[in-house]
Structure 1
Amino acid sequence: MGIEIERKFLVKMDLWQALEKPEGKHYRQGYLLNKEDRVVRIRIAGDQGFITIKGAGDGISRIEYEYEIPKSDAEEMLERFQPEGIEKIRYRIPEGSGLVWELDEFLGANQGLVLAEIELSSQDQRFTKPDWLGQEVSEDERYSNSSLALRPLQS
């Protein structure tokens, strides 16, 4: 069974805007199933397609299975079946101890929102918090990508 352990934070916009950023990658994703306890997501990340199944969570952990699929299949599924979705630019910034911060700058209805997340191997794993991190929103469902697709939040 796949488990995702993730901490998520708002980003301080003034520090984010001043930060020298690496090249970002465009993401487009939609949800074939978008329920509180389970999600089936189709994602296009650059030139790759993915299908992801996520189950109910326990704190910052949740069941997750992700598989690469042909990009053309992902594009077709998003066109034919996507009732709601999001777009964003993702930036990957190394944390320093082998971990990577993923910063999502949202587009469209969520324009102006920037979230940072870090995937951990255990719920109590330590990591360095950069100055540009704001309030933690790991357990605030409003900031999950599946919620943002249904109910956009502009910061």
Structure 2
Amino acid sequence: MGREIERRFLVCDSRFLDGRTGERIVQGYVAKESGAMTTRVRIRADRAFLALTGPRQGLGRDEFEYPIPVDDAWQILSDYCGGRIVEKTRYNVAYADHLFEEDVFAGRNAGLVIAEVELAHEAQPLILPTWIGEEVTLNKRFGNFSLAQFEGPTLPEDRRRPKGPVPTRHLQAMH
């Protein structure tokens, strides 16, 4: 079992990302039980993962994450996540002995930039860069599951499955 302890912040100035290379992420939520676990599938570039996360307890929560085939992940996103999809590009930025992950959201959440930093323990001191804004760690509105609830397209255009029977060649082109 893993334990994830993280803090999340709005990014007030993302110009520092100009010229950096990020990694595209598409993730969807299969299920979320109130006060229990959330089931998420995530595709990061050419890798895919299934994750089960427990409810937040302070800054931390239990997290179990397992690699799965990318084709399986696309099928889960398409068939089982409904509209609960988040698209973003992640940039890793080292600052003052910490690694900040900047998520620049696309699709229905375009314009939103959130920085996350994982900590070894909840009381770990943290020096914040000048581009960090309001802390939103405990604000559920800025959690990925909440962001996935907004109305709008469910999958990136190049990954949507057509209605009705799907020819095999089309499924291969999607992935």
- For structure 2, the 5+ residue unaligned runs are 152-175
Tell me the amino acid that sits aligned with residue 28 of structure 1. Answer: V
Is 1:85 equivalent to 2:77 in the alignment? no
Q: Which moved more, 1:74-83 or 1:114-123?
A: 74-83
The alpha-carbon deviation at position 127 of structure 1 amounts to 2.2
* CA distance, structure 1, for counterparts of residue 62 and residue 19 of structure 2: 31
* Runs of 4+ off more than 4 Å: none
Please give the secondary structure, in 2, of the residue aligned with 1:64. strand
Residues 108 and 150 in structure 2, CA contact (< 8 A), matched pair in contact too: no
Structure 1 unmatched ranges of 5 or more: none
- Tell me the equivalent position of 1:107: 106
2:22 aligned partner: 24
User: Which whole-Å CA distance do the structure 2 matches of 1:24 and 1:32 have between them?
Assistant: 25
Q: Per the alignment, in what secondary structure is the counterpart of residue 58 of structure 1?
A: coil
**Shift, 1:105, TM fit:** 0.5
1:110-129 map, 5 Å? 110-129=109-128
TM-score, normalisation: structure 1 = 0.90
Structure with more of its chain in strand, by fraction: 1
Deviation at 1:48, TM superposition (A): 0.3
CA distances 1:57-101 after superposition (whole Å, capped 9, x unpaired): 11111111111111111111111111111100110001231x310
Q: Deviations over 1:25-58 (max 9, x none)?
A: 1100100103343210000000000001001111
Q: Structure 1 residues 67, 128: CA separation in 2 closer, same or farther (over 3 Å shift)?
A: same
AA paired with 2:60? Answer: S
Amino acid at match of 1:32: V
Provide the alpha-carbon RMSD of the alignment: 1.4
Partner of 2:165: none
Percent identity over the alignment?
38
Describe the superposition over 1:116-137 as per-residue Cα deviations: whole angstroms up to 9, x where unpaired: 0000110011122100000000
Which moved further from structure 2: 36-45 or 105-114?
36-45
Q: Looking at CA atoms only, which structure, 1 or 2, has the larger radius of gyration?
A: 2
Q: 1:96 to 1:18 in 2, by over 3 A?
A: closer
